[in-house]
Chain A
Amino acid sequence: MFRNTYDSDNTVFSPQGRLHQVEYSLEAVKQGSAAVGLRSKTHAVILGLKRSTGELASYQQKMYRIDDHVGIAIAGLTSDARVLSNFMRQQAMGSKMVFNRPVPVNRLVSAIADKAQVNTQEYGRRPYGVGFLVIGHDHTGPHLYEFSPSGTSFEYYAMSIGARSQSAKTYLEKHYEKFVDCDLTDLIRHGLHALRETLQQDKELTINNTSIGIIGPAASSEAPGSGESFRILEGEPISGFLQSMLPKEEAMGFAPAPAAPAAAPASDQDVQMSE
Chain B
Amino acid sequence: MPGTPSIQRPTQHQFNPYSDNGGTILAIAGADFSIIAGDTRQSEGYNIQTRYAPKVFRLTDRAVLAVNGFAADGNMFVKKVKQRLEWYRHAHAKDMPLRAIARLIQTMLYAQRFFPYYVYNILGGIEEDGSGAVYSFDPVGSYERETCRAAGAAQSLVQPFLDNQVYFKNQVPPPGRAHPTHLPLRDVLDIVIDAFTSATERHIEVGDGLEMYIVLAKGRTLQGVEAAQEISARTDGERVFVLRRDLKKD
* Chain A contacts to B: CB under 8 angstroms: 65, 89, 93, 96-97, 223-225, 227
B95 interfacial by beta-carbon distance below 8 Å: no
- Contact across chains for A65 and B83 when beta carbons are under 8 A apart: no
How many angstroms from the CA of A174 to the CA of B232 in the assembled complex?
42
Residues of A within 8 A of B235 (CB): 224-225
Across the two chains, which residue of chain A brings its CB closest to B236? A225
Across the two chains, which residue of chain A brings its CB closest to B89? A65
B236: contacting residue among A65, A89, A224, A227, CB under 8 A: A224
- Contact across chains for B90 and A227 when beta carbons are under 8 A apart: no
How many angstroms from the CA of A226 to the CA of B79 in the assembled complex?
24
Residues of A within 8 A of B232 (CB): 225
- Contact across chains for B236 and A97 when beta carbons are under 8 A apart: no
Residues of A within 8 A of B90 (CB): 65, 89
* Chain B contacts to A: CB under 8 angstroms: 79, 83, 86-87, 89-90, 232-236
Question: Would A97 and B233 be within 8 Å (CB), given that A65-B90, A89-B90 are in contact?
Answer: no
Residues of B within 8 A of A225 (CB): 232-236
A101 to chain B, nearest CB (A): 14
A-B CB proximity, top 7 nearest: A225-B234, A225-B235, A93-B83, A89-B90, A224-B235, A97-B79, A225-B236
Across the two chains, which residue of chain A brings its CB closest to B86? A93
How many angstroms from the CA of A65 to the CA of B88 in the assembled complex?
12
**Can you name 12 A-B pairs with beta carbons within 8 Å?**
A65-B89, A65-B90, A89-B90, A93-B83, A93-B86, A97-B79, A223-B236, A224-B235, A225-B232, A225-B233, A225-B235, A227-B233
A-B contact count (CB 8 A): 19
Residues of A within 8 A of B86 (CB): 89, 93
Residues of A within 8 A of B234 (CB): 225
Chain A residues touching B, majority SS: mixed
Residues of A within 8 A of B233 (CB): 225, 227
Residues of A within 8 A of B79 (CB): 97
A227 to chain B, nearest CB (A): 7
Of B90, B232, B234, B236, the most chain A CB neighbours within 10 A belong to B90
Across the two chains, which residue of chain B brings its CB closest to A232? B93
Across the two chains, which residue of chain A brings its CB closest to B79? A97
How many angstroms from the CA of A232 to the CA of B92 in the assembled complex?
14
Across the two chains, which residue of chain B brings its CB closest to A94? B83
Across the two chains, which residue of chain A brings its CB closest to B232? A225
Across the two chains, which residue of chain B brings its CB closest to A67? B86
Residues of A within 8 A of B236 (CB): 223-225
How many angstroms from the CA of A225 to the CA of B237 in the assembled complex?
11
How many angstroms from the CA of A209 to the CA of B53 in the assembled complex?
48
Given contacts A65-B89, A93-B86, 11 further A-B contacts (CB under 8 A): A89-B86, A89-B87, A96-B83, A97-B79, A97-B83, A223-B236, A224-B235, A224-B236, A225-B232, A225-B234, A225-B235
B230 to chain A, nearest CB (A): 10
Residues of B within 8 A of A227 (CB): 233
Across the two chains, which residue of chain B brings its CB closest to A64? B90
How many angstroms from the CA of A96 to the CA of B86 in the assembled complex?
12
A71 to chain B, nearest CB (A): 12
B218 to chain A, nearest CB (A): 13
Residues of B within 8 A of A96 (CB): 83
How many angstroms from the CA of A76 to the CA of B87 in the assembled complex?
24
How many angstroms from the CA of A169 to the CA of B184 in the assembled complex?
60
Of A96, A223, A225, A227, the most chain B CB neighbours within 10 A belong to A225
Residues of B within 8 A of A97 (CB): 79, 83
B153 to chain A, nearest CB (A): 28
Residues of A within 8 A of B89 (CB): 65
How many angstroms from the CA of A56 to the CA of B232 in the assembled complex?
38
A202 to chain B, nearest CB (A): 32
Residues of A within 8 A of B83 (CB): 93, 96-97
